[in-house]
Amino acid sequence: MKTLLSLAVVAALSLSAAARAGSLVDVSVTDRDTGTPLQTYAHDGKFYVAGTPGHRYAVHLTNLTGMRVLAVLSVDGVNAISGETASPDQSGYVLDAYQSTDVAGWRKSMSEIAQFNFTNLSNSYAARTGRPDNVGVIGVAVFREKPLFWREGRIAEAPLADRYPPAPAMRSAQDSGAARAKSEAAPAMAQAMRPIPAPQESLGTGHGAREHSDVRYTQFVRASTNPDEVDAIWYDSYRNLVAQGVIPQPRPIARQPQPFPNGFVPDPAG
């Protein structure tokens, strides 16, 4: 079956509900203009990131398994490869065992993308193509690969360890979280101390400047017609996420009167 490198074109498959989020593929969003991953906020069972209007971004995908997986990427309810209204049975990116990749734009050809950038909802690609209803969410439907078989129907005798590379050395989740928290603590605190702003027009993903990005065809057969996992990250501006209660604001500490604020009696004003 013919598929794209990182892109897979397969027969129509049926839709299914989400399985466990994040156990097969880790999904995050990177601000390409600052070079830093965006902090994730958990709220009411969903994950959110705050985008900066005008900034370019990339969806960072990491295969957490020892075998290939297919990741069908949806941005604002639109397939990032084909431009169709998104469905899990469509084209996606094939990741090798433990591979990471950045998807930085709408696929225009095998060698070019149009950059993802945060923009007003009305200027988003989805809204400009008449599909504004699902602007503000990034989704990834993940499929495991069907096991390899010989023509006679026997399972390939080569052990999985020979067919797939070992897991790379990875920092512990605690170390990784600490590093990210340290890098994000200062700007997050600075933003948190600001007064709660009024909401503004929601963010969407624009159809930005063209950029070189090579992919190739590969073979991939899904082990199931239903996704093994569906991950989602919602996004909006920092101001709107604060207004929605997604990003909590610290409560001001009430100043308590002090019995001895000064050592001597000052002269009264005037």
Domain boundaries, the chain: 2-243
Residue 178 has pLDDT above 80, yes or no: no
Q: What is the pTM of this model?
A: 0.73
The predicted structure's pLDDT at residue 199: 64
Nearest-angstrom CA–CA distance, 66 and 194: 45
C-beta separation of 93 from 103 below 8 A: yes
- One-letter amino acid at 7 equals L
In this structure, what token pair is assigned to residue 178? Answer: 């600490």
The predicted structure's pLDDT at residue 255: 74
The predicted structure's pLDDT at residue 81: 97
Q: What is the mean pLDDT of residues 85-91?
A: 96
Residue 28 has pLDDT above 70, yes or no: yes
Which stretches of 103-259 are DSSP H helices? 125-128, 160-163, 173-192, 238-243
Q: What percentage of residues in the chain have a pLDDT greater than 70? A: 71
Listed ranges 80-84, 158-162, 266-270; the one with the highest mean pLDDT: 80-84
The predicted structure's pLDDT at residue 258: 75
Secondary structure (3-state) at 117: strand
Query: Kind and range of the H or E element at 25?
Result: strand 25-31
Confidence category of residue 39, pLDDT binned at 50, 70, 90: very high
The region of weakest confidence among 5-19, 132-146, 154-168, 191-205 is 5-19
The predicted structure's pLDDT at residue 202: 95
Q: In terms of pLDDT, which residue wins out, 42 or 160?
A: 42
Buried b / exposed e along 226-253 (16+ C-beta atoms within 10 A): bbbbbbebbbbbbbbbbbeebbeeeeee
The predicted structure's pLDDT at residue 90: 96
The predicted structure's pLDDT at residue 259: 80
- One-letter amino acid at 138 equals I
Distance (Å) of CA 130 to CA 54, 77, 127, 135, 185: 21, 12, 5, 11, 39
Which stretches of 114-260 are DSSP H helices? 125-128, 160-163, 173-192, 238-243
The region of weakest confidence among 12-16, 143-147, 189-193 is 12-16
Q: In terms of pLDDT, which residue wins out, 207 or 191?
A: 207
Beta-carbon contacts of residue 232 (< 8 Å; ≥ 6 apart): 18, 21, 46, 47, 137, 138, 139, 140
- One-letter amino acid at 139 equals G
Residues in the chain: 270
C-beta separation of 29 from 232 below 8 A: no
Neighbours of 143 (CB within 10 A): 28
Q: In terms of pLDDT, which residue wins out, 156 or 257?
A: 257
Q: What is the mean pLDDT of residues 231-257?
A: 88
- C-alpha dihedral, 48 to 230 to 97 to 168, nearest 10°: 30
The predicted structure's pLDDT at residue 270: 66
Nearest-angstrom CA–CA distance, 237 and 57: 13
Nearest in space to 68 (alpha carbons), one of 101, 98, 26: 98
Distance (Å) of CA 55 to CA 30, 134, 179, 212: 10, 20, 23, 18
